[in-house]
Structure 1
């Protein structure tokens, strides 16, 4: 399909399978402005962004692109397990393929949850073209609060009928998606993971949005981003907000992003 049409779908070829992506051009968009590329969370996909990409495009006057990582949503199944460097490798692999397919030079990376970590690594991996990062509900390290939230979600998905929630968006890949999240984060080998090196290498401006009531990470995460990032950081804490600010407090998120991007 035409990648320039609102919400259009397009296939992105990679060495390991096809990625599904969509594009939302803003009405009267200034094509000189770098587009925004969305990076989804651990259980997410393009469809789970819902109406937000279109509203983001309208609010910012920029083209917005979202894609399903390999193994998620409509993209092809992932042939293996996530490796210990999967956050960094996404910036070099899947994201790089999407940028090439859409012929994107300069861009802004907007990530949610682990996708925010990928947005930060994108700034480190693409220092010449990543012009800004919007980090929403980022996990910058492993903390017990995050692990407790994942264990609770794991118990919830073990109840009868709960996997249907994931199958609606990921189809037969749903079990792999859940294990990719819980199995990775709860693995002893993941305990020392953090974004410290990538943050120090990220020189572009960063907007760190975080809900004060996020069950998957306290405000230690945006504080760490602000302390370690190689470029300027704006921290926006949202009172009464949980893990999905773009859904729970969308107007506040859009205002913060518009102000950040100028």
Structure 2
């Protein structure tokens, strides 16, 4: 998808896809996972746009997809900087006023952090991370072997530099300083309605993450548990699409 449009933020080019929708409805902004990109949503944003009539924008973070590489390796605070710096700048550049964020995995954590600091009409998080679990770290460490054993070739179809993508995800999560990462205290800043979808067989995180959103957020939180792994929108698309569309239809 090298023919995607681009937008420049602080001198760096981000690639994105913009699916048009009806005016007067809050737009959707999709935030991808740690190894994700626009293409790796595999059409989820198109399906939700079609089901809801809303404009849907998906973009690739720096180093992902066909966006510019980051100026330096990421550190443990990258999700906070994405939430408070990149997302607002992107919204301003693309005319996304008070969007509903739809995030998956790391993108869901970024969405939670943004919603804790900004007034949003709603929020959808798929397999979010709110703290660090040892079992999840073991799975992330195991992907180092998988990367050399075929994973690199698979993700290279969707990224300009798969090595940068992998290191900026794997190295951050396995950095010693990241073991204390915990955004649960920040969730009290979320006052908008939230839909949290979690796979019960997710190797990267337990249901404790979505339960922590329900426990700490001050807005109403609906939790949907599905019999799947880390990607409900890909593994259980019909149930996930229906839950997201139903939630979005309930918003004012």
TM range (shorter): over 0.9
CA distance 1:162–1:250, change in 2 (3 Å):
closer
Q: 19, 31, 52: which one pairs with 1:39?
A: 31
Partner of 2:92: 100
The count of residues paired between Structure 1 and Structure 2 equals 247
**SS of 1:9's equivalent?**
coil
| 1:253 CA displacement | 0.9
User: Hey, what's the Cα distance between the residues in 1 that align with 2:176 and 2:11?
Assistant: 27
Task: Give me the TM-score of the superposition, normalised by structure 2.
Answer: 0.94
Q: 157, 164, 171: which one pairs with 1:176?
A: 164
Partner of 2:206: 218
CA contact (8 A) 1:16 1:79 kept: no
Gaps of 5+ in 1: 1-7
**SS of 1:169's equivalent?**
coil
| 1:16 CA displacement | 4.5
| 1:59 CA displacement | 0.8
User: Hey, what's the Cα distance between the residues in 1 that align with 2:86 and 2:211?
Assistant: 28
CA contact (8 A) 2:27 2:97 kept: no
User: Hey, what's the Cα distance between the residues in 2 that align with 1:59 and 1:210?
Assistant: 21
1:115-154 residue pairs with structure 2 within 5 A? 115-127=107-119, 130-154=120-144
User: Hey, what's the Cα distance between the residues in 2 that align with 1:123 and 1:62?
Assistant: 19
**SS of 2:180's equivalent?**
coil
| 1:133 CA displacement | 0.9
Task: Give me the TM-score of the superposition, normalised by structure 1.
Answer: 0.90
Determine which structure has greater relative contact order: mean sequence separation of CA pairs < 8 Å that are 6+ residues apart, divided by chain length: 2
- CA deviations 1:155-209 (Å, max 9, x no partner) are 11122x44222221112x2111111111111111000101123311111111110
Runs of 4+ in 1 over 6 A off after TM superposition: none
Partner of 1:4: none
**SS of 1:207's equivalent?**
strand
Gaps of 5+ in 2: none
CA contact (8 A) 2:113 2:186 kept: yes
User: Hey, what's the Cα distance between the residues in 2 that align with 1:113 and 1:17?
Assistant: 24
User: Hey, what's the Cα distance between the residues in 2 that align with 1:158 and 1:230?
Assistant: 43
